[in-house]
Structure 1
Amino acid sequence: MIKTLIFDFGDVFINLDKEGAMQNALDLFKLNEFPEELLAINSLYEQGLISTNEFLEFYIENFPGVSKNEIINAWNFILKDFPKHRLDFIKQLKKEKKYKLILLSNTNEMHIDWIKENVSFYEAFKNCFDAFYLSHEIKLRKPNADIYQFVLNENNILAKESLFIDDTQENTEAANQLNINTWLINPKTEDVTNLFIIKKDFF
């Protein structure tokens, strides 16, 4: 029996353009692919292990022809719209009080700052959750096992009674390893608001 719903943020609630953002960044930095060093820096930033200033300084030093604002815009290019029917969905779940509601997102300070400025109902959305975990704030990152264990321990919940919804396969596979139930959502064909239809076998 599912008692806890654990949601990712990007491409579950807020729409992302991962492919477009990657191509935009490759064009800006005149790269054919992102080298491991840049991916590692991005990961450190998402885990809150380097500050926004340190992150931006790294890019400015390595790409002197690119301005700070261009870097910020390229970084936030991935973020798109947040359909209001998804806010209505999570508000209804909060109202019904049938499940513990948790958000678990790999994100970073610049993305959250952009969302606060551009999504008028961000605080209302955040207030729907019993716990709201952002990777850069808790210094943990999916798909590492410790982030899932952290959520289970902090909330005193059982893996087998939890359902984790995420759009990235490596993240759902890692959760499965800890016996957490999962829904690998396809953002192109599925919508989180259809959870109780698509995953009716869990409920």
Structure 2
Amino acid sequence: MINTIIFDLGAVLIDWNPHYLYKKLFTEEIQMLHFLQNICTPAWNEEQDGGRPLQEATDLLVNQYPEHAQNIRHFYGRWEEMLGGAIEGTVDIFKELKEKDTYRFYALTNWSAETFPIARQRFEFLSWFDGIVVSGTEKNRKPFASFYQLLLDRYAIKPQHALFIDDNLRNIQAAEQLGIQTVHFLSPVQLRETLTEKGIL
């Protein structure tokens, strides 16, 4: 029986994409994609999610790629422009579940501790959670088992009674290894159908 629902945030409840910013900075899409795949890479960004300071991360790349210094600095200097808004279909589902007054709600997110306050200020629904565990604050992140365990221990969550929703299959598989039930998020429509099938919604 599910009594706890754990949401990922990025690409599930919040639309975040570096393309929103870098489409303004590059005239050619192929140049933008090359920059984001080879310089300001997802792996580099994950280190900030894991607690590396933004200035240290920026300096590291500027030293490696001085010819791209300005665009590297924009990654965090204009980070807020990467926020596309709430994913309203998922927020609607969250609201419906919240109104049932049946479940506890937590967020487990890979997010820099330095940029997360911007999201907290912008998205009112973040106040609906009973707790939020931010990777950058904890200096730990998905898919490491210790990060999930931190959430379980902190809020006395039994894994067999929890449902975890994430768009990243790697993170879903890590949760399943700990005995947490999961939904691999593809869209709000798919999530609604899956939760309805499970008798949760």
TM-score, with structure 2 as normaliser: 0.78
2:5/2:105 contact within 8 Å kept: yes
Q: Secondary structure at the residue paired with 1:98?
A: coil
Q: Where do residues 120-199 of structure 1 align in structure 2 (5 Å cutoff)? A: 122=123, 124-187=124-187, 190=189, 192-194=191-193, 196-197=195-196, 199=197
Q: Alignment length, in residue pairs?
A: 194
1:52/1:109 contact within 8 Å kept: no
Query: Which residue number corresponds to residue 61 of structure 1?
Result: 63
Partners of 2:93 and 2:170 lie apart in 1 by 26
1:168/1:184 contact within 8 Å kept: yes
Cα distance change on mapping 1:74 and 1:30 into 2, 3 Å? farther
1:59 positional shift: 2.0
1:180 maps to a residue whose letter is: I
TM-score, with structure 1 as normaliser: 0.77
Bigger drift between 70-79 and 60-69 goes to 70-79
Q: Secondary structure at the residue paired with 2:163?
A: strand
1:96 to 93, 100, 108: 100
Query: Which residue number corresponds to residue 45 of structure 2?
Result: 42
Identity of matched residues, %: 25
Gaps of at least 5 residues in structure 2 are: none
1:163 maps to a residue whose letter is: L
Q: Spell out, residue by residue over 1:52-110, the C-alpha distance to the aligned partner (whole angstroms, 9 max, x if none).
A: 11112112222212215433368666532214454344344334321010001111145
2:58/2:73 contact within 8 Å kept: no
Partners of 1:138 and 1:32 lie apart in 2 by 26
Cα distance change on mapping 1:51 and 1:73 into 2, 3 Å? closer
1:163/1:181 contact within 8 Å kept: yes
Cα distance change on mapping 1:132 and 1:113 into 2, 3 Å? closer
Partners of 1:28 and 1:113 lie apart in 2 by 27
1:104/1:133 contact within 8 Å kept: yes
Q: Spell out, residue by residue over 1:22-71, the C-alpha distance to the aligned partner (whole angstroms, 9 max, x if none).
A: x9698359659437x966543321111x2111112112222212215433
Cα distance change on mapping 1:109 and 1:83 into 2, 3 Å? same
Query: Which residue number corresponds to residue 115 of structure 1?
Result: 119
